Structure 1
């Protein structure tokens, strides 16, 4: 989201004025606000009727339970990639679980717990297409991704310079293009691709090629300086892995198209 400087200031001021205790430091008797994606099947999705589903939702709900909150006390708030740090800074959410890759640049603004999942850039193709088994096979083929995607440019610049890029407004549009034959593959994190493949409406239509074109460590973002919360979340993540809930959430949300791998080692916190 790009806004003029004056508009950006208005956003900041507005968030500061409207920030409430929902994302603050009240005890388990209050409401816990958690930032998630609303438009990523299998990861974070707001379904018809206001029901939330996805791996990030299951992880966030488990963490909330370990912090003492019941499911009915959770308030999920929509976050876009561009405003995750801002929502944490102004206490609009207590933590963010939204396919939030840990990076040195982001760690300058927020603290992270985890990682709790390792995603890899992959390709999604039609289930009956056996001609694409590596990125180089996309030469003289059409690759779909969202506008401005670093995933698509990574493939074209480094692996398949003769690929034709189809840039659309959202991943759902790429799935339709792939289904209709307007694209030969789509690319982004394998977690997102597996989520789309696992949707009931897409059963049996698509498959992941199974590549690891990049590695993305998903972390739980918290307000800068809240080391106590980082340690509590890390403890919850370790317990989720130990009791089998993490594996169950992976299988439920990513389906048979996803090639499962173990939970990553937690490297943040004390």
Structure 2
């Protein structure tokens, strides 16, 4: 199988033609197919022409299909599998090598932070500093991300809240928000129907919106957020990769703490003292 080929496909997927995307999906579903099929056979499986297949591999930066097969063989010869293994004749759908996993995550991190401009980071930190209150919006499968963000920033500053997660409803929480408050929204993966109305309400009430977004939600983020930071999350199979988004959230917290200095340090010390006191009382 070819990790580098899969990464190139996922990086270029938005720039491929409709016919090329059909071939891309065939390869992403089964990267090992590169070693077992010819370019003509791959074209047939994707129901595209041989010319489309040739153009597809050139678009990805290969001179021809033989270069792709050589790369796949080299990767297979130098990698060791995860402990998961299929029996004889079984197809491994989700098992990946350690090298493949590491390459994927490093690629996501590298692309995310290479594209993040220092001015964007500084603007985000200033927005967090200026906000009277900071809100996190849980959404979809990434509600845990908002919870983690709230816990992270509540150690550094007061008045950090989760929308719609307490005894009050989402509407009641939104009624407590106001101008200059900051709403941090993780737009990662499919979004529930409530997200767009909440973002619209935030814009109407002049809240500042900071979005941590993947490629799928980039247009939504740019429409409603004053600041939209794009995280790369290329993945194998159905499970998401949130490594770059989590690292970005931590970068925002560390940068904020470094920017405000003493108030963040004092709050951290206060929380540690309270934790110690509570432990003594038990």
Q: Same fold (TM over 0.5)?
A: no
Q: State the structure with bigger RCO (CA 8 A, min sep 6), 1 or 2.
A: 1
TM-score, length of structure 1 as denominator length: 0.31
TM-score w.r.t. length of structure 2: 0.30
The higher radius of gyration belongs to 2
Structure having the larger proportion of residues in helix:
2
More strand by share: 1
